[in-house]
Amino acid sequence: MLSIDGSLLEGGGQIVRSAVALSAVTGTPVEIVAIRKKRSRPGLANQHCAAIRAVAEACHARVTGNTPGSSRLSFIPGTIVRRDISVDVGTAGSVPLVIQAWLPVALEEGGSLLVQGGTEVRFSPTIDYLTEVFLPALGTAGAGVQVEIIRRGYFPVGGGIVRITAEPASLPRITIGGENGSGIRSCSSNLPDHVADRQAASARAYLLKETGEEYPVSVRRSEGPGTGSSCTVWNGAKGSCALGKRGLPAEKVGEAAASGLVAELRAGGDVDTHLSDQLLLYLARGGGSYTAAVLTLHARTMCWLLSLFGLPVTVAERDPVEFRA
C-alpha cells in the first residue's frame, strides 16, 4: 500500500482528491495520513468526503476513514465500472472539485455523476470555468463530457445541482490551442436582474479597453436556496472568476474577473496558473506538453504526487515554465 503524507507541500484537499483518483486508475491501494494537518480545520471536510465517495463508487473501492475531520484515509480500489452515481456534499462545498476527482475515473468506462453542493464558491473554480476552460483543454476526452447545471448554489447555503455524464475516452496527448474562443458568463441567483447585467457590462468594458477585443456575453439568472453571483471570463485555455458578496458593487465583480484574465494573458504561457496543475494528471497519463507563467505550489504538489504513482512529469523552470510527459 502506498503511504502518502497529506501535510506535504500544498498540504490540502488537492492531495486527497488526486490521490484517490490516481489510486482508482492505477489500481494502487493508498493510505493518506496527516490530512490537511496545517489547516485551521485539519482533516477531511464534507467536500473531500463527497469526492472520495464518488470515486469509490466508480471503482468499488474499500474505504476506511472517510468521515469529516478524519486525518487518515485508506482507499483500496476495485474494478472501475460504468455507474450512475449521486453524492450530496451537504454544505456549499465545491461541486467542480468533486467532479475533478471523479472525472479521470469516469473516463475509463464512462458513467454519470449527480452532485449537490456549491457551484460557485471561494477557493475553487466556478462550474463555468470547468465547462468553458478545463473541459475544452482536455481535447477529445473533454468533448465526450456533458454538463447540465440544474441549479446554481452559492455560499453559505449551497444547494446547487449538477449532472455530468462522461463517455469512455482514450486520453489524448495534451496540446493547447486557441480554438476554444473567448467569453463572459455572468450569473446570479435570487438577485435583481440588473446585477448579472452590470457584472457582464463591466467585464466586457474592461476587456475591450485592455485587449481591444469584444468578448461574447452570456447571462444566467436563477432561483435557488441561496443568494449570490459570479462572473467567469475566458480566452482559450486561460480563465478567471470572481464572486459577488454583500456590499460589493456588481461592477467590481465583473472588473475583478476581467482584470484576472488580462493578468494571465499578459503573463505568458499556454494555460493559466490554475489550469497548469489541473491538467497534470491527464498530461502524465496521456503525454504532451504545455507552458505556464509560473510553477505554482499546487503544480509542484501534483508533480510530486504523480511521481509517487510512477507517472513522472518533466518540469523545465524557464520563462515560461514547461510541463512535459
* pLDDT at residue 224 in the model: 81
State the Cα angle at 77 between 75 and 81, rounded to 5°: 140
Query: Residue holding cell 457551484?
Result: 119
Residues in the chain: 325
Are both 124 and 217 inside the same structural domain? no
The answer to whether residues 203 and 260 belong to one domain is yes
Does one domain contain both 116 and 215? no
In a domain, 126, yes or no: yes
Residue 304, pLDDT score: 98
For residues 18 and 157, state if they share a domain: yes
Please say if 48 is a catalytic residue. no
Q: What is the pLDDT of residue 30?
A: 98
- Does 162 share its domain with 186? no
Domains held by the chain: number: 2
* Residues 121 and 250 occupy one common structural domain: no
Q: What is the CATH number of the domain that holds 247?
A: 3.30.360.20
Per-residue pLDDT of the chain (325 residues; tens, 9 = 90+): 999 999 999 999 999 999 999 999 999 999 999 999 999 999 999 999 999 999 999 999 999 999 999 999 999 999 999 999 999 999 999 999 999 999 999 999 999 999 999 999 999 999 999 999 999 999 989 999 999 999 999 999 999 999 999 999 999 999 998 667 999 999 999 999 999 999 999 999 999 999 999 999 999 998 888 899 999 999 999 999 999 999 999 999 999 999 999 999 999 999 999 999 999 999 999 999 999 999 999 999 999 999 999 999 999 999 999 999 9
- Determine, yes or no, domain membership for 6: yes
What is the C-alpha to C-alpha distance for residues 140 and 145, in angstroms, rounded to an integer? 9
Same domain? 13 vs 150: yes
Q: Residue 16 is part of which domain span?
A: 2-172
Task: State residue 39's pLDDT score.
Answer: 95
45 and 155 both lie in a single domain: yes
Contacts of 12 (CB under 8 A, 6+ apart): 36, 39
User: Is residue 279 in some structural domain?
Assistant: no
The catalytic position among 48, 60, 274, 298 is 298
Task: Check the CA dihedral 211-216-221-224 and report its sign.
Answer: negative
Where residue 157 sits, what CATH number does that domain have? 3.65.10.20
CA distances to 5, 15, 27, 267, 313 from 56, rounded to whole Å, are: 20, 16, 12, 39, 26
145 and 10 part of one domain? yes
| Strand locations in 21-136 (E) | 30-33, 62-64, 73-76, 83-88, 111-117
In contact, 217 and 231? CB cutoff 8 Å: no
Tell whether 11 and 134 lie within a shared domain. Answer: yes
Query: How confident is the model at residue 179, as a pLDDT?
Result: 65
Quick one: pLDDT at residue 178? 65
For the whole model, what pTM was predicted?
0.97
User: Are 228 and 132 in the same domain?
Assistant: no
The per-residue pLDDT for 148 is: 98
Where is the domain boundary, 267, 288, 307? 267
